[in-house]
Chains A and B, each alone.
Chain A
Amino acid sequence: MLLEVRDLKKVFHVGLFKRKEILAVDKVSFNADSGKFLSLVGESGSGKTTTAKMILRLLPPTSGSVIFKGRDVWSCKKIDELRWYWKQVHAIFQDPYASYNPLHKIDRILYQVFDLMEHSGSDKEKMVKEALREVGLRPEEVLGKYPHELSGGQRQRIMVARCYLLEPKLILADEPISMIDASTRASVLKLFSMLREEHDTSVIFITHDLGLAYYVSDEILIMYKGLIVEKGSPDEVLDHPKDSYTKRLTEDIPLLYRKWTGF
């Protein structure tokens, strides 16, 4: 098993003296296998992004563990252990605007990751250019530019190119296509499939879009108020939902080939 998430819990404390508690994630457990696409589906406030940040070792959990290739990720404290982890587990975030430091050229986001890999300096440039071509970008068009000079779609592709450089085992993609034009979304999705074909990469999609999850995943997990309320294959979840929240969700999603009943 590539990734095991066990009883992850996150409580946020607000206020200095009158400490109010917000239970964002309430004992979440699931597994992810190599080469599998998994979707964590939930609406805003469901705790899905918080869960992702805990798995990525960015936000410390209140309790619970994240086990990657048999190692407890949160007990890794030394910088070389962290680098070992982040070479194999990486992320693509939702907002292609916020993912870049606006004062640096986009090259930095790509060259940064060589620190994670054992690499001699000689062919860095060649590797970067090839990764950009893999994602359908022309290196001359994007290298040396600042983030605000490129479109959202180009920025997201560069993020995927960063992953191509790392060849990670697991990618957490938080709403990777929600902020790019509808007409270019499918081509960005294909990039994830290519990563799976070439490197057996597993992807956990974090999204509110059940349609996307249905289309792309091998397994769907539905989150509601910090809990996983439904787990199963796309067809199981859609045709035979067991939880009432899932049922409501599937009834309320606007469909393209069917009209709502009683409307």
Chain B
Amino acid sequence: MSILALLEAKGVKAYYSVRRGYVQAVDNVDLVINKGTTLGLAGESGCGKSTLVNTLMMNVKPPLHLIEGTIILDSKVISDMGMSILKKNIWGVIVSLVPQSALNALMPTKSIEGFVRDVIGHHMSVSDSEIMSMAKKRFEELNLPVEALSMYPHELSGGMKQRSVIAISTLLNPKLLIVDEPTSALDVSTQKQVLRMLIDLRKTGITESMVFVTHDIAVLKQIADRITIMYAGKIVESAPTDNMLYDPKHPYTYSLINAVVTPEPEVRKRGLTSIPGEPPNLLDPPKGCRFHPRCLKAMDICKSIEPNLLERWGNHLVACHLFPSNS
């Protein structure tokens, strides 16, 4: 494992067991997250991005199973750890996940302070007053009103709730913060506030690295250093942000990025592309490259052999037979 890497995942297969078989939600994924980066993980719904980030921190409960693969986080092999060690030493401490439904997960009968106690309580044997002063200090650091701590969820706006949840998730300064669709339910101005806070978390050094899961690629232009695109449970391309947005190589990525519509004259000029067909059923995915049934550039080899994710053009990786290995 390189010294630059905070998290390294190799050959990760995470499947959901259902009556008819296994839904191959994450299939043979290799991923490296370097220290000090914000990685944007993007793809359409059903591509496996939420499953992947949960698996990366070993938040794996039936019907989800980690079939194969190793995950090394901060030089520890967390894929071998038991639940109790994960809860005590890893979750909240080294990695924190703010899930998609975080806004709705707040108990309506507990104030934000109560939530803080729940989250911090079983990690450190610190007194209650110390926990509260930690929370107050952190809120001040992040320009959040301290009064919010004593309020109940229904008294706070959506944006305020989201920022509070994120702030509390980082109280113990985890090295890696994973946020799953944190702004999808928010209006654009509130979204900008939340994004600003996420950037502050990196700037102030409270968190070292971040993974931002979304289907909204324009947001990633604003905050991500690197973008990774998933399709049907696999990583198809991974590159620094501007490379990905302005020079996408994989046919799927190309179409996906050209389907983004923002109020810019460039978008009007290039038009919008769409891809025929629908994403595949992951109970029985297509053989070979999972995108080949919808790919306008599909070749014979694509129907039978899965392309590997290869590094080309210096830290721009792509899994496509159009770009075979250099040798």
Contact = CB atoms under 8 A, between A and B. Distances in A.
Asked if chains A and B are in direct contact (CB within 8 A), the reply is yes
Interface of A: 43-44, 151, 153, 181-187, 189-190, 208-215, 234, 238, 248-250, 252-260, 263
Given A248-B189, A256-B260, 6 more contacts: A182-B256, A182-B260, A183-B255, A185-B274, A252-B192, A263-B222
A149 B112 CA distance: 43
Nearest to A182: B259
Interface string B297-323: 000000000000000000000000000
A185 B255 contact: no
Given A210-B263, A212-B261, A215-B268, A256 B221 contact: yes
B278 A153 contact: yes
A234 B44 CA distance: 28
Contacts of B257: 256
A181 B255 CA distance: 12
Nearest to A262: B196
A260 B263 CA distance: 14
How many residues of B sit at the interface, in one of the four size bands? 35 or more
A254 B262 contact: yes
A26 B255 CA distance: 41
Contacts of A260: 192, 222
B275 A215 contact: no
Contacts of A186: 259, 271-274
Nearest to A177: B261
24 contacts: A151-B278, A153-B278, A181-B44, A182-B256, A185-B259, A185-B272, A186-B272, A186-B274, A190-B274, A211-B263, A211-B264, A214-B261, A215-B261, A234-B263, A252-B189, A253-B218, A254-B262, A255-B264, A256-B217, A256-B218, A256-B257, A256-B260, A257-B266, A259-B221
Given A186-B259, A186-B274, A257-B264, A252 B191 contact: yes
B214 to A, nearest CB: 10
Residue of B199, B215, B266, B274 with most partner-chain A CB within 10 A = B274
A209 B260 CA distance: 11
Given A211-B262, A256-B264, A183 B256 contact: yes
B245 interface: yes
Nearest to A253: B188
A209 B262 CA distance: 8
Contacts of B140: none
Nearest to A210: B263
B74 interface: no
B242 to A, nearest CB: 10
Nearest to A250: B263
B187 interface: yes
Given A254-B219, A263-B196, A263-B199, A215 B188 contact: no
A210 to B, nearest CB: 5
A244 B276 CA distance: 41
A46 to B, nearest CB: 10
Nearest to A237: B263
A255 B278 contact: no
Contact of B218 (A189, A213, A249, A254): A254
B187 A43 contact: yes
A252 B262 CA distance: 12
